[in-house]
Structure 1
Amino acid sequence: MSTTRRTAMIAGIFFLGTEITSIPALLLYRPVLRDGNYLVASSSDSRVLLGGFLELLLVVTVIGTAVTLYPVVKRQNHSIALGYVCGRLLEASIIVVGAVSVLTAVTLRQDLGGTADSAGVGVATVERSLVAIHDWTFLLGPSWVLGINSVLLAYLLYRADLVPRAITFLGMAGGTLVTLSATAMLFGVYGQSVHTVLALPVFVWEVSVAIWMIARGLKPSASSPPVVEGKTPLPLG
């Protein structure tokens, strides 16, 4: 297996990992994010903790996509490639903040559960505050910043002709759409249900590029050094 083929497969696995970890994490967070009385309820903390662990794995996969592809895409435009890496780091940092807010709720529930003051207005306010932090980080990180990152990477892959044009167009269109949708939500134009529908193209983009990289690898690029049979090619980086 060539170095480029291995890079594509690893990057594809990381992309699939972002979906495999992020969606179940949100479902596992439901007692905190949607029930509204997590801090005073006799809930199982293991479910929420598992969601937090999955989000930590999500952070690894988000950073992994950038680190793995950077040596390949930087040959097209070093500044944009570096911007993609920084964008993914920013996205991962925002995700961590959201995960910390949910895990903080677990700690508070363990400390306050069963006490006389646990049903007070202050506790309810704290819980709503933690949920609000997570909701805002979810909008800003895996939506607004994610859209920009998708556009950057799709453009670099398009320039290098490393994956089919249809996939890169989907990435640029889907990334633009989800960022615009997140901006609309920021100003209260519509709610989460509409945003979820408008985010579907960027989800399809990530799954499509992941499957292509795993199954087919990266197409030969005009900027790639020629491989002479029987000789070791020059390093791509």
Structure 2
Amino acid sequence: MSPRRTERLAGALFLLTHVTSVGAVLLYGPGGVDPTRPLAGRTAVLTGALLEVVLAVAVVGTSVALYPLVRSRAAGLAPAYVATRTLEAAVILTGVVALLPVVAVPGSADPAALDPGTAGALVGLHAWTFLVGPGLVCPVNTVVLAWLLHRDRMVPRVVTLLGLVGGPLIGLANLAVMSGLTGTLAVAAVPIFAWEVSLAVVLLVRGLRVPEVAVASLPRGLVAAAP
């Protein structure tokens, strides 16, 4: 696959992460992020869980797609980005597995027969994975990628600054939620949302500005197919 196609794939995957994450939250109902409130019905929760599985795959996919394009510029940061995105996806999937027993039994259309205490604990576990994965791990990989792209001017500075500001901001906001200092602060997610959407647009429309020395060190298949 050529570098340009790889960039477009990464951009499309970034957009897919937002579509699937927002869709899952809406389908779960208020109980998806607040364990004190009820979940939506079985079909809605199962569909939301499927979207979260797609989300986890897309999260890893963004890092795998970007890796060959940036590894020559950051031998340590590029693998760190892949590792933290993979960790984020693993936490997301843990939450999915925790939530499914509340509404379904594998291979059966019968409702789950969990006592309220157990069901509440599993819903609470899902809420914690939502806070830890997208809430605390994602800010780390956001700063890693934003710094890598900012340092080498691979995308416009205004885009990387959104990531460098948005990552720590949402991380601190979620630490405050974890500590019980405040409730969910949706406004704190605006910069990191803008970062990922604007990066996706850059990847889809223009691509990365990879220095010639970096292009020369890309895998032979990518170099041969480069425009």
Per the shorter chain, which TM-score range?
A: 0.7 to 0.9
Q: What's the offset of the Cα at 1:90?
A: 0.5
Distance 1:29 1:37 in 2: 9
Alignment correspondent of 1:19: 18
- The SS at the match of 2:180 is coil
Is 2:103 aligned against 1:106?
yes
> What per-residue deviation string (whole Å, max 9, x for no partner) do you get for residues 90-131 of structure 1?
00000001111221111267143xxxxx7xxxx221122111
Q: How does 1:175-190 map to 2 (within 5 A)?
A: 175-190=167-182
Alignment correspondent of 1:63: 60
Task: Choose the corresponding residue for 1:89, options 86, 89, 99.
Answer: 86
Distance 2:213 2:82 in 1: 21
> What per-residue deviation string (whole Å, max 9, x for no partner) do you get for residues 140-169 of structure 1?
000110001100001111122211011011
Task: Give TM-score scaled by structure 2 length.
Answer: 0.87
Task: Choose the corresponding residue for 1:76, options 67, 70, 73.
Answer: 73
CA distance 1:212–1:130, change in 2 (3 Å): same
Distance 2:128 2:41 in 1: 25
Alignment correspondent of 2:131: 139
User: Is the CA contact (8 Å cut-off) linking 1:76 and 1:159 kept in structure 2?
Assistant: no
Alignment correspondent of 2:199: 209
Distance 1:90 1:235 in 2: 31
Single out whichever of 127-136 and 90-99 deviates more from structure 2. Answer: 127-136
Distance 1:37 1:168 in 2: 38
CA distance 1:224–1:187, change in 2 (3 Å): same
- The SS at the match of 1:110 is coil
Q: What is the CA RMSD across the aligned residues, in angstroms?
A: 2.3
- Equivalent pairs, count: 215
Larger radius of gyration: 1
Task: Choose the corresponding residue for 2:45, options 40, 44, 48.
Answer: 48
Q: What's the offset of the Cα at 1:220?
A: 3.8
> What per-residue deviation string (whole Å, max 9, x for no partner) do you get for residues 21-76 of structure 1?
000101111175368455xxxx7422111101100100111000010101111112
Amino acid corresponding to residue 90 of structure 1 in structure 2: L
